[in-house]
Amino acid sequence: MGLSNALLFARHFPTVLLEVDSRKVDLINAGESPIRDEEMIQHLSSDDISLSATVDLIDALRAADWVIVATPTDYNAATNSFDVSSVESVVQSVFELKPSAQVVIRSTLPVGFTQILSQRYPTLSLLVAPEFLREGSALQDCLYPTRIVVGGGAEAAAEFAALLKGASLNPGVDVFLTGLAEAEAIKLFSNTYLAMRVAFFNELDSYVVSRGLDTRQIINGVCSDPRIGTHYNNPSFGYGGYCLPKDTRQLLANYEQIPQNLMRAVVDANETRKQFVAEEILKTNPECVGIHRLGMKVGSDNYRGSSILGILMLIRASGTPVVIYEPTLLENQFMECEVIRDLDEFKSRADLIVANRMADELSDVSHRVYTRDLFRNN
């Protein structure tokens, strides 16, 4: 997330990326991408950007007109909320070193958090500008944003929104200037709606499978209504990735003492779907289950929050042997399961192969593949 922001602005302005991992700093300064994203790889190797990376906060802040915070906010089940400590740590450090800085938080936050920060660090100009990025195409979505949302002081928000719009390659993108909490809420409600849609088509699929019907026919008929449309209608093992699972839980937590049914249902539906899929797999009485890739999407090397991890744990808990095909993993074991990096060996070891998203390399063993990827899209 931070790198995509840095590359977006480095096309127009000298940009310094603060990164705590010195290995990533070295890669970026050498023009190499630390993550798998073709567009990032191309931009980092280009002579048309002005980007440097550092582990030194003072160095990063020295000439900065704007400070963009894009640190992770993982969900903490113990506190029933995002872990916002990395965001607050950066904001506090900026406050101590540059107390009148203009700070833009692009991390996903609980509703109302930035207002608390603004009271704690009153001399900072704090804005919230949520991102709407898809896994595996973060820079693409920065360059071609679906909308620009900036919350906070009207003048500063308008100025930063103009910077985002000017740096993007979508000159007609809609801009929304809002309050701080409204900007935070837009991100959480957007992701929860997407999760709800995924959960709906997954539950449709669970019903259809249980009744022996044709899921494709039903989904095609339902989605022919233009009010429903054909987007986000491909069944899966559950919504996953880094954002949707944690954002739905955070929004549900924000509903404390507020009547709701749907938000709880969205969260619960995802766990129910994983249980259903695991039971369907185990009904076939496999001798050895093979998990084909761990990422949520084709072409992604990010496993955080991947729905197939939940399936893996449920199958393993049944006592059924599990092997994993994941060529990007260097370890020989993952979640107490053997990792195989040779595809032919993997195919020979597993009598049932489980794939959240179907791949051409499995076409020769498709009769042994369990997947709900009916439309072959991400």
**Per-residue DSSP letter, 121:** S
| 304 CB-near residues (< 8 Å, 6+ apart) | 241, 242
Q: Which one from 142, 223, 243, 288 is the annotated catalytic residue?
A: 243
Show the tokens assigned to 31: 């023009």
Give backbone dihedrals phi and psi of 105, rounded to 5 degrees, phi first. Answer: -95, 120
A 10 A CB-CB count for 363 gives: 9
| 169 CB-near residues (< 8 Å, 6+ apart) | 143, 144
- Report d(CA 343, CA 330) in Å as an integer: 15
- Report d(CA 48, CA 27) in Å as an integer: 18
Under DSSP, is residue 365 helix (H, G, I), strand (E, B) or coil? helix
Alpha carbon 246 to chain centroid distance? 9
Answer positive or negative: Cα dihedral of 335, 340, 345, 347.
positive
Show the tokens assigned to 168: 């993007």
To 5 degrees, how large is the angle CA 143–CA 144–CA 147? 115
Say if CB 31 and CB 68 are below 8 A apart: no
A 10 A CB-CB count for 359 gives: 15
223 is catalytic: no
- Report d(CA 315, CA 275) in Å as an integer: 10
List active site positions: 243
